[in-house]
Amino acid sequence: MGKRIKVGIIGPGNIGTDLMYKVMRSPLLEMSVMIGIDPSSAGLKRAAGLGITTSSDGIEFLVQNPDMAEIVFDATTARAHAQVNAPTLERLGKIAIDLTPAAVGKIATPMVNMKDCLNEKNVNLITCGGQATTPIVYAINRVVPLEYAEVVTTVASDSAGPGTRANIDEYTQTTAKALRLLGGAERAKVMTIFNPAKPQMAMRNTIFGIPKHRDFKIEDVRASVEEMAAQIRTYVPGYELTVAPVIDRDVITTTVTVEGQGDFLPKYAGNLDIETASAVKMAEMFAEKLLRERGELA
């Protein structure tokens, strides 16, 4: 096996645990440490059972053991990242990949602007809905500018843990911000539904866009969106364009369904999967850059 970059995860909940399993499959990343604040955490116990170093001392563990990780994923809460983890990781000189909707660092999604982020020390992965829909809004906008974008995301209630629910206000604000800053829409609105139905439904995202003009062909929009969906499937295999862009009454409508890989939660938890898969994709791009700079990657 070639050289790999050590990474750590702060937050051993649903997202952090799913992320851990994905990191362990990566040819460029070494799962070095899982960090939490509760010694009885099930996520810490899972990591320890896999032979991974664990700590319940929070980010203070990295302060005392800075060599444990070069890249650190934050899967805690927006408040924890903004107030504690982000400034501490900056002081330590670590690359922070933020899976909370804190939006402290540069907002990013792999297929839109990741290459512009490789000199950043803190990148924000928006939200699961942001990772699923911002690239689609961007793909539409590169054909025709959007005056307005609206996203309705439905996820299985069982896939939304306490951290996700605690972050719901920040989730909505950060996703709408990404639709504007990265997607290119002038205005944006985001709605999220936790669906309690059984059997559980996979994550579903409906994107509505109002174009500034009608001087475009819907076939060109469809081709742009289909190309983007194919790129995302290279790292999120369950990402499917279930309704290709159609236009009715001057509104472009697209629907994307995301099924997870089942690394931790069942496959219906595509909302969790797209966030963690995007995080690994970004970490691998950082790792490749670091290894090339050191002459350790051909």
In a domain, 197, yes or no: yes
In a domain, 298, yes or no: no
Our answer to whether residue 128 is catalytic in this structure is yes
Burial letters 101-131, b for 16+ CB under 10 A, else e: bbbbbbbbbbbbbbeebeeeebbbbbbbbbb
User: In angstroms, rounded to a whole number, what is the distance separating the alpha carbons of residues 266 and 259?
Assistant: 9
In sequence order, what are the beta bridge partners of 248?
251
User: In angstroms, rounded to a whole number, what is the distance separating the alpha carbons of residues 161 and 159?
Assistant: 6
Domain containing 175 — which CATH number?
A: 3.30.360.10
For residue 2, is pLDDT > 80? no
Q: What pLDDT sits at residue 160?
A: 81
Question: How much is the pTM?
Answer: 0.93
pLDDT level of residue 1 (50, 70, 90 thresholds)? low
For residue 282, is pLDDT > 90? yes
∠ CA(154), CA(155), CA(158), 5° rounding? 150
For residue 264, is pLDDT > 70? yes
Do 240 and 287 lie in a common domain? no
pLDDT one-digit tens code per residue, 90-113: 999 999 999 998 889 999 999 999
Closest by CA to 149, choosing from 167, 165, 136, 163, is 136
Do 76 and 20 lie in a common domain? yes
Do 121 and 133 lie in a common domain? no
How many distinct helices (H) and strands (E) make up the chain?
A: 11, 12
Residue with tokens 């995860």: 9
In order of 37, 174, 184, the CA distances from 178 in angstroms are 30, 6, 9
Pairing of strands 95-98, 122-124: parallel
Do 73 and 188 lie in a common domain? no
In sequence order, what are the beta bridge partners of 6?
30
Mean pLDDT, to the nearest integer, of 182-199?
96
Find out whether 205 and 129 touch, Cβ atoms under 8 Å. yes
In a domain, 183, yes or no: yes
In a domain, 162, yes or no: yes
Total domains in the chain come to 2
**Active-site pick, 78, 128, 132, 282:** 128
In order of 17, 122, 208, the CA distances from 91 in angstroms are 26, 12, 41
Residue 195 lies in domain: 128-269
For residue 33, is pLDDT > 70? yes
pLDDT level of residue 298 (50, 70, 90 thresholds)? low
pLDDT one-digit tens code per residue, 113-169: 998 999 999 999 999 999 999 999 999 999 999 999 999 999 999 988 777 787 788
Closest by CA to 243, choosing from 205, 214, 193, is 205
Do 192 and 97 lie in a common domain? no
